[in-house]
Amino acid sequence: MKTRGRRMLLLGILLAMTVVIAATAAEGLPLKEGDRGSAVLEVKERLLALRYLKSGPLTKAYTKSTAQAVREFQRDNGLPETGEVDEKTWEVLFSPDAARKPYPTMSPLAEQEKKPEPDWPERDAEGFAAGGEEYVYENDEAGLWIYLNGKLQIIITRLKDESVPLVWFETEIRTRDGERFRTVQTDPDHPGKRYRYPDVIAQDAGFVLGFSDDFFAARMDTKENTGIIIREGQLISRKTNRKTGHHLPNLDMMVQYPDGRLQVYECNEKMAEELLEEGAVNVFSFGPILLRDGVINELVYTYYRNIEPRHALGMIEPNHYLLLSVQGRMTDSRGDMLQRVAEIMKARGVTQALNLDGGNTMALVFRGRMLNKLAVFNKKAFVRTVTSLIGIGQIREE
């Protein structure tokens, strides 16, 4: 049985157990500060599962901290904030619809200055260039780069917050009429070999937009589990982790389908042959998943707290994407945690998102030119050489 199926079965068992508990333990209500007993312990165990109590040894005593946790639960679930567990509170507490304590969000970033308005060409109702004409706008000083034609829109915006300090790029991409992400390898006959700089790879491929991927070559070189890797319908690696976790990379994956969908899966949720049968064009394995069906992965609230350069690809809806590139390891931009990346992407409407390789691997190339500054590692500013790249669009020859 696949991991997701096991989880659903376990959830069903747990929900059935809570119904039994609710039916048998409601007799001694209400519970309040100073009470003791097994019913109090059941309440505390449930509050712990819903994050209203911190982990640690739980006793049968209804303490002040228990009452405070109950008040928080009542507040978040629309109940009177009494701090006591009456029949209604008990019923909601042990129901499958009980609201968990929300994770704290990161402090909001500074309000951004308005970007200059470009001299837009004639556009159709969907914002593509009318008549299929090509339009290019580059404003390095303001931090705005645009490319339009009849089937592709790319709008790159550089944003900053000096108080963090943080600089990041949000690249919004829209496609139609079969335009899609493509991947290139420097040596397709020997995957993971022949390292080159990402801007050189993008130039040779003629990508309008090129960006670094999961850097699977690094894992192939060290004989690690590489993850499920598919490039342009060709299987490169099928060996992945047996279970997902909080290590980096955990080899969670993003699958690109021919219809413009991007879908994220845990590392062991689907096997390579199954993905090929489904028509997967490309599979990127790095992780962790940042968003799935619009919900932020809980792992990012507990792990991945390092401040680093970050790179993540997400889908708002089929044929509408967001690439988030966070600069880091420099004086004007330290980088950030994955929680921030996930929260920004969720705020922009992203439903599926995967963390790609960041650090000094992160590269954002527009029309052959790398837009991000070089990160500093071991006192040296550089971008890693890689063996593969994701890109979209084709630069027209003059």
Residue 217 pLDDT exceeds 70 = yes
Mark whether 237 and 323 lie in a shared domain. yes
Mark whether 226 and 175 lie in a shared domain. yes
The predicted-structure confidence for 230-243, as pLDDT tens digits, reads as follows 999 999 999 999 99
**DSSP calls for 129-196:** BGGG--EEEEETTTTEEEEE-SSEEEEEEEEEETTTTEEEEEEEEEE-TT---EEEES-TTSTT-S-B
Instruction: Establish if 228 belongs to a structural domain.
Output: yes
b/e 2-17 (16+ beta carbons within 10 angstroms → b): eeeeeeeeeeeeeeee
Mark whether 311 and 379 lie in a shared domain. yes
177 φ/ψ angles, rounded to the nearest 5 degrees: 55, 40
Mark whether 215 and 86 lie in a shared domain. no
Instruction: Establish if 32 belongs to a structural domain.
Output: yes
On whether the CB atoms of residues 332 and 163 are closer than 8 A, the answer is no
Residue 241, token pair as written in the block = 């982790």
**Last residue in a domain, options 75, 93, 111:** 93
Q: What is the pTM of this model?
A: 0.88
Beta bridge partners, 173, equal 154, 321
Task: Say which CATH number the domain at 32 has.
Answer: 1.10.101.10
On whether the CB atoms of residues 363 and 211 are closer than 8 A, the answer is yes
Instruction: Establish if 318 belongs to a structural domain.
Output: yes
- For the segment 285-313, the average pLDDT, to the nearest whole number, is 97
CA distance 359 to 252: 18
CA distance 212 to 372: 12
**DSSP calls for 340-368:** HHHHHHHHTT-SEEEE---GGG--EEETT
Mark whether 268 and 380 lie in a shared domain. yes
Mean of the per-residue pLDDT values of the chain:
94
On whether the CB atoms of residues 289 and 354 are closer than 8 A, the answer is yes
Mark whether 71 and 161 lie in a shared domain. no
Which range marks the domain in which residue 61 is found? Answer: 3-93
The predicted-structure confidence for 58-79, as pLDDT tens digits, reads as follows 999 999 999 999 999 999 999 9
Residue 396 has a pLDDT of 83
Query: What's the domain count of the chain?
Result: 2
